[in-house]
Amino acid sequence: MDLPTAPLRFDVITLFPDFFTSPLATSLTGRALQRQIATVHLTNPRDFTTDKHHRVDDIPYGGGVGMVMKPEPIFAAVESLPQCPRREVILLTPQGQTMNQPLFKALSTEYDQLVLICGHYEGIDERVLNLVTREVSLGDFVLTGGEIPALALINGVMRLLPGTVGKPDSLKYESFETPLLDYPHYTRPAQFRQWAVPDVLTSGDHGAIAQWREQQQIQRTQQRRPDLYELYSSPDSSGL
């Protein structure tokens, strides 16, 4: 199995590096890191403060509720990193573009280094945007910080890297690879309580199985994600 010539480098700027310890050590992500398919480096901006209290936040100019992350530690943290030729500096913020599969594909193929800045408190000093090349959001809601979105992005991108998933073909048939959602999956036992596996899946007729799965994809998408179904049924639809 072909592997990248150099591992994709993730640099996470976070006030809480311990937050990443367990998630990055488990499942496919942990195995990918062990195999050097990607690397993750955690940098705490607090280590770049110059005052005795190591303050990374201050009150906002103009008044308002909450505290704002100061620009100096974040700039210093990012500027301390090695710089790969194809680098994207991403701020995790509710104001950014929403994560989706096409974004993960682009990040997994077009860059050598992804720098992820995790915000906290009321927000980050606007001048930090001078470092940023892309703003990304997990969704239309607010969390306590950028660590959870950063983990989601790392996981979504890393699983697309060659060598992470044992059967690469499985990536071709997932939800969001086309405008259609995934079809239902079943395994043994064939009968569980009052629910049985659909007969077509045990028929051995691969043509009928493929047709059933496509029908299920269309039906699910129409019921659960009418927005995606509209994209799928559009005459000029070319996928996601």
The predicted structure's pLDDT at residue 121? 86
Instruction: Please give the backbone phi and psi of residue 57, each rounded to the nearest 5 degrees, phi first.
Output: -140, 165
Angle at 219 between CA 213 and CA 225, to 5 degrees: 120
Percent of the chain with pLDDT over 90: 87
- Is 28's pLDDT higher than 60? yes
The predicted structure's pLDDT at residue 201? 97
More confident site: 240 or 68? 68
CB-CB contact of 113 with 84 (8 Å): yes
Q: Which domains does the chain have, with CATH numbers?
A: 8-158 (3.40.1280.10), 174-233 (1.10.1270.20)
**How confident is residue 1, by pLDDT bands cut at 50, 70 and 90?**
very low
Angle at 229 between CA 226 and CA 235, to 5 degrees: 135
Q: Which two tokens stand for residue 188?
A: 């043994």
pTM: 0.88
Q: Which two tokens stand for residue 133?
A: 């090349």
Structure confidence by residue, pLDDT tens digits, 117-142: 999 988 999 999 999 999 999 999 99
- CA dist 223 and 225 (Å) reads 6
Strand 113-118 to strand 87-98: parallel, antiparallel, or no bridges (unpaired)? parallel
- CA dist 213 and 222 (Å) reads 14
- CA dist 216 and 87 (Å) reads 40
